[in-house]
Structure 1
């Protein structure tokens, strides 16, 4: 062995200097590739993997799960898409109030807790636990209340705002590793105000011209998003908005949307706010279009979970995984999880062939690494429609589907996200709601 090493060393030293430099460089590159190369699970070795398979059970099917080796994941040092600017797509209707950039809002509904709300947006459970321990009242969120929050550059919770009622708002700011609470009480007088107008240009500009604030325009769009495409309203269409505004020293301090009426194409569309903070039509029927939890008919193995703070084990840098990877055979039908419009259907380099669908104004879903695209941009799809066949395109180490859900331009955990459901009011809640509708309807008059 020593004789062989001496022979190799002698042959190397006898090479011309340029050849020695080139050979040394190739050796370094080869070693670097071996160290940085992402691990690929071998199908042959899959049965010996010690960790238990993470199988998602679909509530809509009783079919046995398809168990594949956990080989379906893009390299950890690569993002799932090269360009996030086109999804979720932003336009004039997505404009934020100047001082609200980066603020995420949520209306508390049935079964919500502070933990279930924040963790679906990737906020660490330790932050949630620290807040609840310091301020036990946060365990008592009520239906219809609104919370909002901002994150710091490290993705940690920086500020949480809890609107307990029209008059009381509590804010929790991170200060030196702990949270500090401040309470604001409003003492103004609340008055209902109707603002009406007609389209002369875009809805946003027309609504502002009628006297609506930026925040009120945004609230109207969210309330009506499942009934209307605001980009397709025509000149001359009419609208009437009923808001409850708190007046203090002659100024409007804050407001709450009560009801909306929009007339387009000779037809009236209504939306009324109920006690639970959600909006329903004039008959008490829910406006949201229901979503499926999973984008496939069968159950598939989760090979990589959502992790917005995933670290590259080599570089130590944050390499977020904004969705969930489902390991599945190439050619598996991929379904739209809800009604919507296709906004992207193309090859996205690292994402491979991918599709993005906008549902209403707040929700966008993305489907990546596809083999074949079955839809085109601008096409309307229904829940359960086939939109593609799964594949292994782009930066991928095995056949899988990468699936994401975005809410208000924020990626959330697809497995735990609170999804829209088609629901309505019943019993006493519906009777109380219809009484509110009868009271508000006469106030929704056009100019």
Structure 2
């Protein structure tokens, strides 16, 4: 080491004097920079701390899902194609309906549609009997422009209907008792050159009754595909009061197409089954992938844009997943849309019967085409990161009766049938109904 130092010193001394001066100056400057530490003034006084109070609406903007692009307009950019089978009467516009089934509670029914627990609690407080919903009863409700619950109607029985209206102090309940007589009315028709809707209207069915027929048969028949010569028969139970029809309930349907008969008959639970008591609904998968992935953004129809402060609904859930993950159809249905569209990127929409629709967005590759029939579990696309997206994920939506619901909690169709005494009672009812559904 000493020898190296002597060699360096000897070399330095042999340099011309101007070079030695320059090299020495650079060395001193380098050492000065290396050891220099700026002096920082630290005041003795206590630092100022400012407390910021956040409104409840502001807190939402700090949740994990707020990191996702919440100004998406994908849901509005491409509406699901509609047809005459989707027509609603003026009185039904904006009304959401639900038939109570096994395991339902007021909370589980309304919460899946994004109605807040505060509204549900106030509603239950207005009538304790709402905690005892029974299978087959029907709920219907309307919302305010802000998405709050405005009115709920509970059809407890054929005789009694309770209505709950929002007030400044919660909800106010009113009860209405019907005093009319229920009479079964059988109607039938044969398709000519027009559609089933036209044929049914000519036979005297209302728009609401036609809708109930289509929904009852939705898993067996595509009414758009019926042909000239196909025949149908419907049994309606109608309440008549002072010679006027007050309300009605579908009892049974028979449809003959290509020489084959299809039946749907209502049971006590409000659902429809075939002549043997077998359920007509086709079961759904809960998730659109073969395995579960992390939810990066939850369903939130009231989500606020933290920048604009305006409501920017997130009508589905986002699953974070690697690009190229196979996306599956959650149920049997028909592809009604498969294309690239703005913020949604590549996306697919599948219609399942007339009640359910599912949508899959930000895909990398489409594996299906519009009009194609798919089965539960079929691959319909590969996940991606197209459109307005912050990272690879799948945006998945479930719509029931043209209203978005929470895909993680929604009551999805199950393949089921009646058993035991329920089946025996149903088969006895079938023997009474079928003779009234004659076609000849």
Q: Does 1:334 align with 2:327?
A: yes
1:116 corresponds to which of 92, 108, 121: 108
Question: What CA distance in whole angstroms lies between the structure 2 residues aligned with 1:81 and 1:174?
Answer: 29
Question: What CA distance in whole angstroms lies between the structure 2 residues aligned with 1:281 and 1:436?
Answer: 12
Q: Which runs of 4+ in 1 moved over 6 A?
A: 70-73
Q: 1:72–1:397: 8 Å Cα contact kept in structure 2? A: no
Q: Does 1:285 align with 2:285?
A: no
Query: 2:130 aligns to what?
Result: 138
Q: 2:126–2:173: 8 Å Cα contact kept in structure 1? A: no
TM-score by length of 1: 0.83
Question: What CA distance in whole angstroms lies between the structure 1 residues aligned with 2:278 and 2:152?
Answer: 32
Instruction: Report the Cα offset of residue 271 of structure 1.
Output: 0.3
Q: 1:169–1:184: 8 Å Cα contact kept in structure 2? A: yes
Q: 1:71–1:397: 8 Å Cα contact kept in structure 2? A: no
Q: How does 1:33-72 map to 2 (within 5 A)?
A: none
Q: Does 1:194 align with 2:175?
A: no
Instruction: Report the Cα offset of residue 420 of structure 1.
Output: 0.3
SS at match of 2:77: coil
Deviations 1:227-282 (A, max 9, x none): 00000001111110001111111111111100000001100000000000000000
Q: Does 1:227 align with 2:217?
A: no
Query: 1:424 aligns to what?
Result: 417
Question: What CA distance in whole angstroms lies between the structure 2 residues aligned with 1:140 and 1:418?
Answer: 18
2:162 corresponds to which of 170, 185, 209: 170
SS at match of 1:126: helix
Query: 2:264 aligns to what?
Result: 271
SS at match of 1:182: strand
Query: 1:403 aligns to what?
Result: 396
SS at match of 2:428: helix
Q: 2:65–2:298: 8 Å Cα contact kept in structure 1? A: no
1:315 corresponds to which of 297, 308, 316: 308
1:91 corresponds to which of 83, 89, 92: 83
Query: 2:384 aligns to what?
Result: 391
Instruction: Report the Cα offset of residue 77 of structure 1.
Output: 2.4
State the structure with bigger RCO (CA 8 A, min sep 6), 1 or 2. 1
2:287 corresponds to which of 294, 301, 311: 294
Question: What CA distance in whole angstroms lies between the structure 2 residues aligned with 1:114 and 1:302?
Answer: 26
**CA 1:437/1:280 → structure 2, altered by over 3 Å: closer, same or farther?**
same
RMSD: 1.4
Question: What CA distance in whole angstroms lies between the structure 2 residues aligned with 1:384 and 1:417?
Answer: 19
Residue segments in structure 1 that go unaligned for 5+ positions in a row: 1-50, 52-69
Q: 2:68–2:297: 8 Å Cα contact kept in structure 1? A: no
2:436 corresponds to which of 401, 420, 443: 443
Instruction: Report the Cα offset of residue 313 of structure 1.
Output: 1.2
Query: 1:6 aligns to what?
Result: none
Q: 1:309–1:320: 8 Å Cα contact kept in structure 2? A: yes
Question: What CA distance in whole angstroms lies between the structure 1 residues aligned with 2:404 and 2:190?
Answer: 35
**CA 1:360/1:148 → structure 2, altered by over 3 Å: closer, same or farther?**
same
Question: What CA distance in whole angstroms lies between the structure 2 residues aligned with 1:176 and 1:110?
Answer: 33
Residue segments in structure 2 that go unaligned for 5+ positions in a row: 1-62
Greater CA drift, 137-146 or 244-253: 244-253
- The count of aligned residue pairs is 377
Instruction: Report the Cα offset of residue 71 of structure 1.
Output: 9.5
2:69 corresponds to which of 75, 79, 82: 75
Deviations 1:81-140 (A, max 9, x none): 45142x2x3210011121110100000000000010001011111100011112111101
